[in-house]
Amino acid sequence: MLFNSIDFAIFLPIIFILYWFVTDKNLKLQNFLVVIASYIFYGWWDWRFLSLILFSTIVDYVIGRKLRMEENQTNRKILLWTSILVNLGFLVFFKYYNFFLDNFITAFTFFGTDIKANSLNIILPVGISFYTFQTLSYTIDVYKRKLEPTKDFIAFSAFVSFFPQLVAGPIERATHLLPQFYKRRTFDYSKAVDGMRQILWGLFKKIVIADNCAEFANQIFNNSADLSGSTLVVGALFFTFQIYGDFSGYSDIAIGTSRLFGFDLMRNFNFPYFSRDIAEFWRRWHISLSTWFRDYLYIPLGGSHGGTWMKIRNTFIIFIVSGFWHGANWTFIVWGALNAVYFLPIMLTKNNRKNLNTVAQGKLLPTLREFLQVLLTFSLVVFSWIFFRAENMGHALSYIGGIFSGENFFNIIPKTWGGRMQSDFAFSILSIVLFIIIEWIGRDKEYGIGFLNEIKFRILRWCLYVLIVLFIITFGGSSQDFIYFQF
């Protein structure tokens, strides 16, 4: 079920009414409603994959209970690795089987051995990378005795399948979200209003920014061999704002929806394109995944302790694994490795914790130095997104080659584009500029239009809300799937 669909517009108020007016007197019944709603929400795509979520839920619930009773360290490790292998086993099979098979065949062919093997027509379950990591966080934290295993199977099922963030995050930690299912929730009007405001901004980012940018990003990337260098640069810029508007828009809707039901989810984006270095960018982009890899992979590997070689090794591991998490394609691995290359000089010079505050905090405009830092960081990020978006490595390299070819560089708009397409192109550019201005104004808030709550005149606030709604209805692009559904 899509957040930007009529189905969800009907589904959400029904669940909201049942949640607050029918089941609000009984916590377990309320949690059970969350489970039912979540399974309906997920099953809307393909009900067959509900069995994967249920199986993963049962496995980790049982292992969590056994970890509490088991004192023998060897047996505890066996239980932990059972959970890891079961969860990652599903993930590897559905997401990476064909990738490993194809590369295995290619490697043997290179050495003169012809191997016959058929790829499988595997459908990737939506959101499997997200809920797999979420359940793993529970088992690992129970194993480390950071979290008491739950006895409440309904609460645990609700934690694993919580529908606002089930499909594309944020990837919640059991230590943060699970205890919220133990406590009685009461309706908080101000929290609900704030949630609706964040949902509105998320829909604007998805429908107006991401979907409009997607039309031109797809057009340019799919026809990159025939376009000028400047058009290719613009295509990379369009994808840069498409993926941000799409993914952060989803997170805004998920967080806002959770607030309607009395839950607080972790922040997933913190205005990453206003970062002054690549380390700051990764503290602000997909925060739930970055911190997951930091806590469950980077730190256990030794983190930034030890010698220079260990620091370099751990940095490349964390970024390459992060890239591979996004998809079974060498482009994602190169994207991760490229970000590791960006990050290394900052880490090795111990400047990776330098920019911790908001850029130009308390000021209207940044200094020239801050502006150039943001511009440089943004340019590096845009370049890396080319690998992320490209179909394969050959496509990525030819796209980059086209940018630097110098042929017809200043012909930004192709002659084949008609008048309507050119006007839509101009509108998309203007909408991006407007979007940047709004995000800049609200950069010290939780989300872009969070500052609207500070406007004293209620009528003015509502006029702005109506204006945003009209903008979404009038200027929304053609409906596109959320990018991160494929991950």
DSSP assignment of 226-253: GS-HHHHHHHHHHHHHHHHHHHHHHHHH
From 176, 286, 326, 395, the catalytic residue: 326
**pLDDT score at 378:** 97
CA-based nearest residue to 278, from 378, 423, 407 = 378
Give the amino acid at 47.
W
**pLDDT score at 34:** 95
**pLDDT score at 104:** 58
Cα 210 to Cα 66, 87, 446, 452, distances in angstroms: 45, 32, 20, 22
**pLDDT score at 122:** 65
**pLDDT score at 268:** 94
Residue 166 contacts residue 220 (beta carbons within 8 Å): no
Distance between CA atoms of residues 275 and 251, nearest Å: 19
CA-based nearest residue to 440, from 358, 367, 383 = 358
Cα 356 to Cα 206, 258, 276, 353, 386, distances in angstroms: 28, 28, 10, 6, 27
The tens digit of pLDDT for each residue in 451-478 reads 988 888 889 989 999 999 998 998 887 7
HSE-up of residue 53 (Cα within 13 Å, Cβ side)? 31
Residue 52 contacts residue 89 (beta carbons within 8 Å): no
CA-based nearest residue to 396, from 239, 206, 277, 245 = 239
User: What is the residue-wise DSSP string for 61-73?
Assistant: HHHHHHHHH---H
Active site annotation includes 286: no
Burial of residue 474 (number of CB atoms within 10 Å: 0-12, 13-18, 19+): exposed
* 3 state SS for 291-325: HHHHHHHHCCCCCCCCCHHHHHHHHHHHHHHHHHH
Which residue ranges in the chain fall short of pLDDT 50? none
**pLDDT score at 95:** 79
The tens digit of pLDDT for each residue in 106-134 reads 655 655 556 665 655 666 677 888 889 99
**pLDDT score at 303:** 78
**CB atoms inside a 10 Å sphere around CB 289:** 21
